[in-house]
């Protein structure tokens, strides 16, 4: 890890961005929790305890950086299926996520109806999503439009992969938001692959952020493994949105360290060397080192946090494992609003 | 009561609901300054401003998707598809999203959106300005679909659709816009979604229909009563999803002979489901096979007057079909 020691004279980067030490540590905690949940999700699937897992490993830094630049409870989040760090920061609990993984009745995302990774929680303003990708982008625009009409001071924050940026809904949504100068932030988590198809076979332009100019909005490219840089650009985008200056497209560049999902063998289309190379660039240990170099963190503190989070995740798994399944006939419920 | 055309009734429903509820707004191509390509939203932007009568980019998936987002936020959007033929880019938003939002979130989120879509032919619109695409959406649980034929039902069903807690596709027949007039109450009312309506009592044969062909059925029934003493019982479905099973069965059992009429092509159409409901429940009460008079199974109606006329239903075609079944 090549991190320059930070001189005490020099202002710490998170301070210069307006983040307190406690917040800086909280961001790390959220990422680490997401990663632990994610790793356990894979194991649970391999062990036959759950049917499916889809991972966000390697993308936590961009997600957490963005989440802390937003205002949970005020802003609307339209996540995609890898956004464990984002939904945790917005108030979803490890139990909530495990209830979804186990498809149990108490799952607040869908009551055990949707695959894991299909987040939704109205009280937390996490908007329900589906599997056909990019459909959430016009929804985010509609929420931003409604918020503007109602004079509510909030933004609508939506994420998607670079593969999704090829969909019509991406184009239609960004164009609409730009025309109406809506308080929306579009963050592409460019993890280099749409399942097996690499970036250069998906996109003709060098960068996803370049597409912004076609919509008349700023396009910002940021290292998605640099949590504080992502925080900075999302915060700026939020301020622009709240000033009424319209939407921003952010491309957070990163790498999907895991297969697409538990149903995928990624070594069929990429090499172990390539994955190992990117593992060394993982933003999570990089940020841990930053915290240590800043004098905020230590290996002892890290071990303590590891133990605490391991216990939390274990509790969540035990809880979800024991929780009852939905009643079979609940399959018939909630097609329409209940009759009064 | 005021005498309104069908299109005036639709405009009145939107105006009244926008007046009543600041969450109601209209979005679509040309709905604002121009007032819609048919004039359905004429005068609304002057009254309620650019935000609530919003001219959008030409992009149907965004029109539907943005409306869905706004509906999830808590607004009551009315998304206008300029022609029902152009809804297809929005089908993913309507079928994968709007229809499933309540169900997939276990009743946490809801999507009270109205998608208005002018449908139907007889206006020299050719293949892509004449279609009846309801069968694409029919059979998608989570969606409600209405297709009024009279000004009274047009207003009452649109008000009901706007107030409904779930997504409603509102098919309005273009040929009815100026051609159909009727009495509409001055006071507030709704026509409940899911309720069919007997538009004519009769004892010899039952006609079940919706949309423009209702008028052909009523004209044909009057002539047959006067000329041949055949009394047709005419049921207007008004809502095609969910179908009013009770009303369908009651109307079918009344005469034991059922003719189903719709402009959409026959195969895979709503009529097949109506026939199946009757067959499941009432087969042995029938005095004749269930018959369907529908659009032809061709991709869509051509523009040439001879071909359009050949494709379209009319009073005489419906009259012949009623007579044939009545005499069975």
Per-residue H/E/C for A276-312: HHHHCCCHHHHHHHHHHHCCCCCHHHHHHHHHHHHHH
Whether omega for the bond prior to residue B242 falls within 30 degrees of 0, making it cis, is: yes
pLDDT in tens, A275-308: 999 999 999 999 999 999 999 999 999 999 999 9
Query: CA-based angle A95:A261:A157, to the nearest 5?
Result: 65
Whether this model's pTM surpasses 0.90: yes
- Rounded Cα–Cα distance for residues B198 and B285 (Å): 20
Closest residue in A to B72 (Cα) is A143
- Average confidence (pLDDT) over A149-155: 97
Question: For residue A223, which phi and psi values (nearest 5 degrees)?
Answer: -70, 110
The answer to whether the beta carbons of residues B2 and B184 sit under 8 Å apart is yes
Contacts of B67 in chain A (CB under 8 A): 142
Given this model, what pLDDT does residue A132 score? 97
Contact check, Cβ <8 Å, B68/A143: no
How buried is residue A120: exposed, middle or buried, by Cβ count under 10 Å (0-12/13-18/19+)?
buried
Percent of chain A past pLDDT 70, that is, above it, reads 97
ipTM of this predicted structure: 0.96
Query: By the 8 A CB rule, do A222 and A240 touch?
Result: no
Q: Centre a 10 Å sphere on the Cβ of residue B287 and count the other Cβ atoms it contains.
A: 11
SS in 3 state form for B235-295? EECCEEECCCHHHHHHHHHHHCCEEEEEEEECCCCHHHHHHHHHHHHHHHHCCCCCEEEEE
Answer whether residue A91 shows pLDDT above 60.
yes
- Active-site pick, A113, A199, A269, A319: A269
Q: What is the largest CA-CA distance in chain A?
A: 66
CA pair distance A327, A168, nearest whole angstrom = 38
Answer whether A134's CB lies under 8 Å from A162's CB.
Answer: no
Cβ neighbours of B101 (radius 10 Å): 27
Note whether A138 contacts B68, CB cutoff 8 Å: yes
In CATH, B2-184 is 3.40.640.10 = no
Instruction: Choose, from A256, A278, A287, A290, the residue flagged as catalytic.
Output: A256
Q: Reply yes or no on whether the pLDDT at A262 is more than 60.
A: yes
Inter-chain contacts counted by CB atoms under 8 A, chains A and B: 137
Strand partners, B2: B184
**Which of B60, B68, B74, B104 to mutate against chain A (most A CBs within 10 Å)?**
B104
pLDDT bracket for residue A1 (50, 70, 90)? very low
Q: Which residues of B touch A96 (CB under 8 A)?
A: none
Q: How far is residue B313's CA from residue B122's CA, in Å, rounded to a whole number?
A: 9
Contacts of A146 in chain B (CB under 8 A): 69-70, 73-75
Give the distance from residue B128's alpha carbon to the nearest chain A alpha carbon, in angstroms.
21
- Measured distance CA(B21)–CA(B76) in Å, rounded: 9
Residue A142 and residue B71: Cβ atoms within 8 Å?
A: yes
C-alpha distance from B4 to closest chain A C-alpha (Å): 32
Answer whether A113 sits within 8 Å of B103, measured CB to CB.
yes
Give B100's contacts in chain A (Cβ within 8 Å).
130
Q: Considering only the beta carbons, identify the residue of A110, A143, A335 that sits closest to B70.
A: A143
**pLDDT tens by residue, A157-188:** 999 999 999 999 999 999 999 999 999 999 99
Answer whether A175 touches B (CB < 8 Å): yes
Note whether A267 and A204 are within 8 A (CB): no
CB contact under 8 A, A139 and B109: no
pLDDT at residue A332, as a whole number: 97
Tell me the C-alpha distance between A223 and A248, whole Å: 16
Which residues in chain A touch residue B165, judged by CB atoms under 8 angstroms apart?
Answer: 336-337
What residue in A sits closest to B109 (Cα-Cα)?
A122
| B262-303 pLDDT, tens digit each | 999 999 999 999 999 999 999 999 999 999 999 999 999 999
A334–B96 C-beta distance less than 8 A: no
Q: A215 with A175: CB under 8 angstroms?
A: yes
Share of chain B above pLDDT 70, in %: 100
- Helices assigned H by DSSP within chain B: 6-20, 44-52, 60-73, 91, 101-104, 134-137, 151-163, 176-179, 213-228, 245-255, 270-282, 305-311, 315-326
Count CB neighbours of B228 within 10 A.
Answer: 14
pLDDT at A251 over 70: yes
Q: Which of A135, A148, A335 sits opposite B97 (nearest CB)?
A: A135
CA A338 – CA A333 distance, rounded (Å):
9
C-alpha distance from residue A162 to each of A71, A83, A177, A281, B181 (Å): 25, 14, 19, 19, 53
**What is d(CA B278, CA B289) in angstroms, rounded to the nearest whole number?**
11
- Residues of each domain in chain B carrying CATH 3.40.50.970: 2-184
Look at the alpha carbons of A123, A124, A128, A134 in this order and tell me if their dihedral is positive or negative.
Answer: positive
Burial of residue A29 (CB within 10 Å: 0-12, 13-18, 19+) is middle
Banded pLDDT at A5 (limits 50, 70, 90): low
Minimal Cα–Cα distance from B208 to chain A, Å? 26
Q: Where are the domains of chain A?
A: 13-323
Structure confidence at residue A10 (pLDDT): 76
CATH of domain B197-326: 3.40.50.920
B129 annotated active-site:
yes
Burial of B83 from C-beta contacts in 10 A (0-12 / 13-18 / 19+):
buried
Contact B107 A335 (CB under 8 A): no
CA atoms within a 13 Å half-sphere pointing along the CA-CB vector of A181: 6
Residue of B nearest to A177 (CA): B66
Element (H, E) at B205: strand B205-209
Contacts of A195 (CB under 8 A, 6+ apart): A163, A260, A264
Average pLDDT, chain B: 98
Backbone angles phi, psi at A325, to 5 degrees: -70, 165
Q: A122, B108: Cβ pair inside 8 Å? A: yes
Q: A319 catalytic, yes or no?
A: no
Q: Which residues of B touch A (CB under 8 A)?
A: 25, 51-52, 56-57, 59, 61-62, 64-75, 77, 89, 92-93, 96-97, 100-110, 141-142, 144, 165-166
Q: Does the structure show a pLDDT above 50 at B180?
A: yes
Other CB atoms within 10 A of residue A82 CB: 28
Give yes or no for a contact between B161 and B193, defined as CB atoms under 8 angstroms apart: yes
- A337 with B165: Cβ contact below 8 A: yes
Whether residues A135 and B65 touch (CB distance < 8 A) is answered with: yes
Chain centre distance of CA A70: 12
| A143 to B67: CB separation less than 8 angstroms, yes or no | no
Q: How many CB atoms lie within 10 A of CB A167?
A: 18
Using CA atoms, how far residue A48 sits from A41, A52, A325, in Å, is 11, 9, 16
Q: Tell me which residue of B283, B202, B276, B268 sits closest to B235, measured CA to CA.
A: B202
**Per-residue pLDDT for A199 more than 80?**
yes
Question: Which residues on A lie below 8 Å from B146 (Cβ)?
Answer: none
Nearest to A169 among B61, B71, B141 (CB): B61
Q: Do B73 and A147 touch (CB under 8 A)?
A: yes
Exposed, middle or buried, A295 (CB in 10 Å: 0-12/13-18/19+)?
Answer: exposed
Distance to chain B for A198, nearest Cα, Å: 26
**A183 close contact with B: CB closer than 8 A:** no
Residue of B106, B140, B194 to mutate, interface with A, max A Cβ within 10 Å: B106
Residue range B40-52: mean pLDDT, rounded: 98
Q: Does A120 touch chain B (CB under 8 A)?
A: yes
Q: What is the mean pLDDT of residues B110-118?
A: 98
Using CB atoms, pick whichever of B66, B77, B165 lies closest to residue A141: B66
CA distance B307 to B300: 11
Q: Which among B52, B59, B141 has the least Cβ separation from residue A175?
A: B59
CB B317 within 8 A of CB B223: no
Query: B-chain residues within 8 Å CB-CB of A118?
Result: 104
CA distance A254 to chain B (A): 28
| Secondary structure of residue B1 in the 3-state scheme | coil
Decide if domain A13-323 falls under CATH 3.40.50.970. yes
Across chain A, what does the average pLDDT equal? 96
The contacts of residue B146 (CB under 8 Å, 6+ apart) are B157, B160, B161, B168, B169, B170, B171, B193, B238, B239, B240
Residue B110 Cα distances to A122, A333, B17, B75, B192, angstroms: 10, 14, 20, 11, 20
Per DSSP (E only), the strands in B50-154 are: 53-55, 76-80, 114-119, 144-146
């Amino acid at each position: 890890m090549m991190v320059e020691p930070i001189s005490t004279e020099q202002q710490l980067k998170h301070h210069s961005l307006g983040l307190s030490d406690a917040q800086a540590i909280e961001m790390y905690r959220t990422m680490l929790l997401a990663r632990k949940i994610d790793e356990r999700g894979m194991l649970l699937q391999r062990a036959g305890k759950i049917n499916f897992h889809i991972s966000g490993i390697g993308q936590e830094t961009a997600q957490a950086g963005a989440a802390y630049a937003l205002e949970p409870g005020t802003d609307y989040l339209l996540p995609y299926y890898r956004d464990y760090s984002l939904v945790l920061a917005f108030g979803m609990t490890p139990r909530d996520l495990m209830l979804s993984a186990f498809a149990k009745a108490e799952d607040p995302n869908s009551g055990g109806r949707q695959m894991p990774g299909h987040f939704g929680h109205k009280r937390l303003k996490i908007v329900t999503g589906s599997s056909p990708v990019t459909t959430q982008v016009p929804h985010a625009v509609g929420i931003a439009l409604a918020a503007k009409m109602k004079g509510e001071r909030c933004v609508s924050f939506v994420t998607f992969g670079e593969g999704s940026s090829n969909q019509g809904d991406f184009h239609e949504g960004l164009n609409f938001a730009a025309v109406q100068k809506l308080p929306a932030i579009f963050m592409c988590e460019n993890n280099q692959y749409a399942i097996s198809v690499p970036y250069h076979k998906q996109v003709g332009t060098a960068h996803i952020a370049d597409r912004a100019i076609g919509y008349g909005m700023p396009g910002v490219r940021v290292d998605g493994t640099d949590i504080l840089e992502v925080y900075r650009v999302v915060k700026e985008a939020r301020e622009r949105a709240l000033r009424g200056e319209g939407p921003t497209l952010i491309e957070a560049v990163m790498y999907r360290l895991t297969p697409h999902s538990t149903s995928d063998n990624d070594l069929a289309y990429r090499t172990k060397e390539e994955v190992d190379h990117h593992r060394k660039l993982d933003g999570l240990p990089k940020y841990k080192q930053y915290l240590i170099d800043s004098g905020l963190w230590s290996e002892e503190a890290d071990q303590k946090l590891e133990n605490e989070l391991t216990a939390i995740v274990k509790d969540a798994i035990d809880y979800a494992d024991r929780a009852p399944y939905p009643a079979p006939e609940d399959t018939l419920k909630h097609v329409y609003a209940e009759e009064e | 009561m005021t005498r309104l055309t069908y299109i005036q009734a639709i405009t009145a429903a939107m105006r009244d609901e926008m007046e009543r509820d600041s969450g109601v707004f209209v979005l679509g191509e040309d709905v604002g300054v121009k007032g819609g390509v048919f004039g359905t939203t004429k005068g609304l932007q002057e009254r309620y401003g650019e935000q609530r009568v919003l001219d959008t980019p030409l992009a149907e998936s965004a029109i539907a998707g943005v409306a869905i987002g706004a509906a999830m936020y808590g607004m009551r959007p009315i998304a206008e598809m300029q022609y029902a033929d152009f809804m297809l880019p929005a089908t993913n938003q309507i079928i994968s999203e709007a229809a499933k939002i309540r169900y997939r979130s276990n009743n946490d989120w809801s999507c009270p959106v109205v998608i208005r879509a002018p449908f139907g032919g007889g206006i020299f619109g050719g293949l892509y300005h004449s279609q009846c695409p309801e069968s694409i959406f029919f059979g998608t649980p989570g969606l409600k679909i209405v297709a009024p034929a009279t000004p009274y039902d047009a207003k009452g069903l649109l008000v009901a659709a706007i107030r409904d807690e779930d997504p409603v596709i509102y098919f309005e027949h273009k040929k009815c816009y100026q051609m159909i007039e009727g009495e509409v109450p001055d006071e507030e009312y709704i026509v409940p979604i899911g309720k069919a309506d007997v538009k004519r009592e009769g004892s010899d044969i039952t006609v079940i229909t919706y949309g423009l062909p209702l008028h052909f059925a009523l004209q044909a029934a009057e002539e047959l009563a006067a000329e041949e003493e055949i009394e047709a019982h005419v049921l207007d479905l008004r809502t095609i999803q969910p179908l009013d099973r009770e009303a369908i069965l009651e109307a079918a059992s009344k005469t034991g002979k059922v003719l189903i009429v719709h402009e959409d092509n026959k195969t895979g159409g709503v009529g097949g489901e109506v026939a199946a409901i009757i067959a499941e429940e009432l087969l042995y009460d029938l005095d004749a096979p269930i018959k369907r008079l529908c659009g032809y199974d061709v991709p869509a109606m051509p523009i040439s007057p001879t071909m359009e006329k050949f494709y379209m239903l009319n009073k005489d075609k419906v009259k012949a079909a009623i007579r044939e079944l009545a005499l069975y």
